[in-house]
Amino acid sequence: LATNKLFDVVVLAFLLPVRPVLDFSMYVQKMLVQKKLQAARDLFTHTVWRHHAVMDEHSLARGAIEILAISFAERILCPIIGYMLLGLPGALACVFITMLHDTVSNGAFSKAAIQAYSVVHWIPSRIAAALWIAASLFMPENRIKQVAGEIWPLMQEASPQVLSLAAAGHVLKLSLGGPASVYSGGKWLGNGTPKTLASHVGKAVYLFAVMCILVVVILGLVL
């Protein structure tokens, strides 16, 4: 039994791309600080940003933050919740459905993929939004009441990806998404500036790490 649990933990750890997501965003931030915009654009080559070749400094920074926000809910939190509910098959199902949603953008299976994605990620996206609110406590300016008031109305109806971006935008005082975003449906999400900078990416990386630590602490208390 202990061996099986160890195997499950190893597989689950392999499924969670915490380090790759952090490395990606930190490298984008580094390239932006050094004003190496082409190097930053090249990092988006194999992502959903098909227009990466024309992305400016602000859209590159927004892209890095959006990847952090979406990945936390989709690729980290969802498999953990799936594992807690159904064991390793639940975690693998979350990963498979996310990959299917990202891959099948049109065709006979696109509607089914979108519906399955929406069902599987509804709860993880809400928990992720709550963790964004909790993580705001660890920022120099304590705005948790304001942030909670801004995000809470979105909890009931917002789609998973929209909620993830809105939560990050409100906490970081940014407007994420916009017409070029593949996640927001063309909407600006958040209540701050869309002129995102490398410093904002640094704050997002910090909050991402805080949320991962909070998840570990919560799992330790629950399990």
Cα Dmax for the chain: 53
The DSSP letter of residue 54 is G
* Mean pLDDT to the nearest integer, 177-206: 91
Torsion sign across C-alpha atoms 200, 24, 26, 75: positive
3-class state of residue 181 by DSSP: coil
What percentage of the chain reaches a pLDDT higher than 70? 92
**pLDDT at position 6:** 65
pTM, whole model, 2 decimals? 0.91
Per-residue model confidence as pLDDT tens digits over 56-81: 999 999 999 999 999 999 999 999 99
How buried is 12 (Cβ within 10 angstroms: 0-12 exposed, 13-18 middle, 19+ buried)? middle
Positive or negative, the Cα torsion across 125, 222, 21, 75? negative
Is 104 or 92 the better-scoring residue by pLDDT? 92
| Cα–Cα distance, 130 to 139 (Å, whole number) | 15
pLDDT reported for residue 43: 94
More confident site: 90 or 111: 90
In the predicted model, what is the mean pLDDT of residues 90-109? 78
Range with lowest mean pLDDT among 48-52, 79-83, 103-107, 208-212: 103-107
Q: What is the distance between the alpha carbons of residues 223 and 207, in angstroms, rounded to a whole number?
A: 24
Residue 182: band (very low, low, confident or very high) from pLDDT cuts 50, 70, 90: confident
